[in-house]
Structure 1
Amino acid sequence: MFQTIELTKENRIATLTLNRPSVMNAMDDVMMKELADAFEELKSDQAIQVLLIKGAGRTFSAGGDIKKMIDPESPMDMGEVMQHITRLAKTLYLLPQITIAVIHGSAAGLGFSLALGCDILVAEEDSKLAMNFIGIGLVPDGGGHFFLKERIGTTNAKKMIWGGEVLDAKTAKAAGLVDELVPSGQAELAASQVATSLLSTPIAAMIASKRILHESKREELEHVLQLESESQIAMRNTADHLEGIRAFVEKRQPVFSGH
């Protein structure tokens, strides 16, 4: 059914796996659409109460597929891509399940936005997290502005977005961006244990409270996603973005001009 992700369901728990391990689960336009489609499928599945999101191979997700952005053979249509990203972020936030991000390796860019859109973040101690859009002259998307502000407030969100630093998982937990730290190689097991324990609680009441809290923020998220989409399309046409992705591909430091 899906080319770039896997979705399995068992005992009230669904597991969604980002499955492009050869490119560190970088998200191309196909994966973005498939994620949105999978979340929409789960939105109407009342039998599922917990969703685990993880990455195949060495890492959770390196973020958007930068090489695909500049591929002259099949360039990504930014307008279409932003529609997919808007749909996946909004649907993820409003899912009628408790969502758990299972982080190993790294969660960067759109991958970090995806993780932050989840209710619970479980991360391995040696994993890295980065809202690093600024490094290629872009703004966070996938609701990154909204999800960061929800967790750490506007002032700290700006610092993180503007700085673009790579955080180790311990620093991220201290900042309130990670909920549970586990030893290397243990994230999947720990997240499964969290999921199983949730099923032995009055989880229907938890999901109802999630709905109340998240529905009250729906309009704000929709507005942020619209602004992110407009800004990202504009930033894609800047000299700084072109320099940023060229420097990334050429493995050198970018030289930005502010335009």
Structure 2
Amino acid sequence: MAYETIRLEREGRMASVVLNRPNAMNAMNDVMMKELAEAFEELKDDREVQLVIIRGGGRAFSAGGDIKQMTDPDNPMDIRNVMADVSRLAEALYTLPQITIAAISGASAGLGFSMALACDVILAEESSKLAMNFIGIGLVPDGAGHFFLKERIGVPKAKQLIWTGEVMQAEKAKALGLIDEIVPDGKAAKHAGSMAGQLLQTPIAAMIASKGILHTAKLEELRQILRLESDAQQAMRQTADHLEGITAFIEKRKPIFKGE
């Protein structure tokens, strides 16, 4: 299948999903969200591929949702369709019958961070900036961000990161358990490729089977959280605080929230 905003590349038993809007720091517009869901669903049916690397083209993994499209009257996001694709994306990624590696360079924020957290192994370059920063525009995490944060660091710490929207350096993210390994700047893709080569020389079928057992046991919880996130996000998109958040972002000023 041909894609507009991503690349899906296969090489033997390995595949790469590359976010390909480098001029927008791989911000996810509605087309990219749909294409990512379709690519992960395509990989679910590929029994030859055993390992998938996810990375961003250019200088960022992903800056998150495309705020410019959120405010574009000529090309508005249909929030219902978008949330359906985001839920498809998250469930397909979580249930992939392959080992997944996120190779983070630059920013991994919002939905981009949710997607990275869904991966089995997360590598990040030293100067990476990572954030579950939906709160800055009056939204809740989506892409199962609540689920993946909770799985990695537990509910109390997950709430704090969601509520503050803190932008973390790789060192702090690793100390919290949000990423698995820090690599030198400019080396994430290369290191992920080396790791992939090593994993493909192990009994990786057994690893995939264990992943399937652990993830299947959590699948209904994931689906429930995706439904809750979808409902909450559609409600938050109608709030005055969300409008103020995205307006302040575009105007490059501090937002004034009123809890409305």
Deviations 1:37-81 (A, max 9, x none): 000000010000000000011110000000101100010000000
Q: Which residue of 2 aligns with 1:87?
A: 88
TM-score (norm 2): 0.99
Deviations 1:181-238 (A, max 9, x none): 1111111111111100000000000000000000000000000000000000000000
Distance 1:82 1:64 in 2: 11
User: Does residue 170 of the first structure (1) align with residue 159 of the second (2)?
Assistant: no
Distance 2:166 2:173 in 1: 11
Distance 1:151 1:193 in 2: 24
Q: Which residue of 2 aligns with 1:36?
A: 37
User: Does residue 56 of the first structure (1) align with residue 27 of the second (2)?
Assistant: no
Secondary structure of 1:122's counterpart equals: strand
TM-score (norm 1): 1.00
User: Does residue 237 of the first structure (1) align with residue 238 of the second (2)?
Assistant: yes
Q: Which residue of 1 aligns with 2:192?
A: 191
Q: Which residue of 2 aligns with 1:207?
A: 208
Secondary structure of 1:45's counterpart equals: coil
Deviation of 1:11 after TM superposition, in Å, equals 1.9
Identity %: 64
Distance 2:89 2:49 in 1: 18
Unaligned runs of 5+ in 2: none
Distance 2:187 2:211 in 1: 27
Unaligned runs of 5+ in 1: none
1:77 partner letter: D
Q: Which residue of 2 aligns with 1:96?
A: 97
Q: How does 1:120-159 map to 2 (within 5 A)?
A: 120-159=121-160
Deviations 1:103-124 (A, max 9, x none): 0001000000010010000100
Distance 1:203 1:163 in 2: 38
Deviations 1:1-35 (A, max 9, x none): 10000000002000010000010000000000000
Instruction: Kindly report structure 1 stretches of 4+ aligned residues shifted beyond 2 Å.
Output: none
1:34 partner letter: E
Q: Which residue of 1 aligns with 2:221?
A: 220
